[in-house]
Structure 1
Amino acid sequence: MSRSPDDIPGLIQQAITQNIEKYGLHVQYVFASEDTPSFIYTIGMTDIGAPELLMFSLPPQAVYEAIGQLYQEMRMGQRPKDADRITDLWSVPMILESVDSEDAAQYTLQAEAYYHGKGLKPVYKQMVWPDTHGKYPHQYGFDKTLRASQPYLGKRHPRLDDDCGVEYFSRH
């Protein structure tokens, strides 16, 4: 039986449901486009009371196993579900920044569809990684050549632009 392109959304949701039923979690990888770097997000963390995670420009091989471990530790109560920092799964500390649902929804289409069908609204955190100097996207001095690779969606900290130095923010 041949399938049409119209079948694809249903097949994707079917695969997501099967992965969540089997593993408790689905990790969705999205290839880069002209406007957006590649990114990965989770579907299934909401079911254990944790935020869904969104991260940009990290190779899937480097993320899948660690995300699975993170999920299992949160599910078993070995790691707080509201963590703001992860220091023990990668070679650099990752910061988890809360993201406005509307901002996240432009990237997390499959998660939104999955949870809409369940009558739930997921909460998202962006997992951000530092540049080679240890600066994160919301910090002054973050390597501006990496900004396109890691759009900053966090709502807790304003993003500092290069034309506004520390002096500007200390006065305002």
Structure 2
Amino acid sequence: MEPIASAHQADQYDAWQRDTIRRHGWALQPMPGDEDGPPYVYTVGLSGFGHPELILFATAPAVAATVLNDLGALVRLGHGLAAGDRVRLRSGDVHLLTFPESADWLFAANDLYRAAGDPPVRALLVVPADELAPV
């Protein structure tokens, strides 16, 4: 791919992401797995509510989207989610744990919400209590 085409694609993706955050409050950022780790999906935008971002590993993308969007909707409605919470969702129950390594995993969220010299954005790890079901 040409460098200019690549830059245009990145600009278009950034514009889409910012528009999605503006319209819905957050966007989802899927990341493919590789030899170093499993696939995962995380939110970008919950920091704008003063809330930690959310990250979910090794779950089918459609199921991860449902879980993270349902949790994001709770945040948008004013429900603060915290480490130690167990949340019942339509796809199954999840536990929330502190996720201290957001700088190493939530690149887009840190790019948008982390000011120079500040600590990484706060994040919560979403852990299924049981098998999550597609909705």
TM-score, with structure 1 as normaliser: 0.63
Question: Are 1:23 and 2:24 matched, yes or no?
Answer: yes
Q: Which amino acid aligns with 1:81?
A: L
Q: 1:89-168 counterparts in 2 under 5 A?
A: 89=89, 92-100=92-100, 103-116=101-114, 121-130=120-129
**Range with bigger deviation, 58-67 or 86-95:** 86-95
Within 2, Cα distance between the matches of 1:39 and 1:4?
27
Percent sequence identity over aligned pairs: 22
Task: Summarize deviations over 1:51-75 as a string: whole Å, max 9, x none.
Answer: 1001110111112233222222222
The number of residues matched between the two structures is 128
**Range with bigger deviation, 86-95 or 107-116:** 86-95
Structure 1 residue runs of 5 or longer lacking an equivalent are 133-172
Q: Which amino acid aligns with 1:10?
A: D
Within 2, Cα distance between the matches of 1:47 and 1:40?
18
Q: Of the two structures, which has the highest relative contact order with CA contacts closer than 8 Å and spacing of 6 or more?
A: 2
Q: Which amino acid aligns with 1:107?
A: W
TM-score, with structure 2 as normaliser: 0.77
Q: 1:7-22 counterparts in 2 under 5 A?
A: 7-22=8-23
2:58 maps to what in 1? 57
1:81 maps to what in 2? 81
Contact 1:39 1:58 in 2 (8 A): yes
Structure 2 residue runs of 5 or longer lacking an equivalent are none
Root-mean-square deviation (Å): 2.7
Within 2, Cα distance between the matches of 1:36 and 1:30?
10
Matched position secondary structure for 1:47 = helix
Task: Note the C-alpha offset of 1:90.
Answer: 5.3
Q: Which amino acid aligns with 1:64?
A: A
Within 1, Cα distance between the matches of 2:117 and 2:44?
14
Matched position secondary structure for 2:88 = coil
Task: Note the C-alpha offset of 1:113.
Answer: 1.0
**Aligned in 2, Cα 1:131/1:23: closer, same or farther, shift over 3 Å?**
closer
Contact 2:67 2:89 in 1 (8 A): yes
Contact 1:41 1:54 in 2 (8 A): yes
Within 2, Cα distance between the matches of 1:11 and 1:35?
28
Contact 1:83 1:96 in 2 (8 A): yes
Whose radius of gyration is greater, 1 or 2?
A: 1
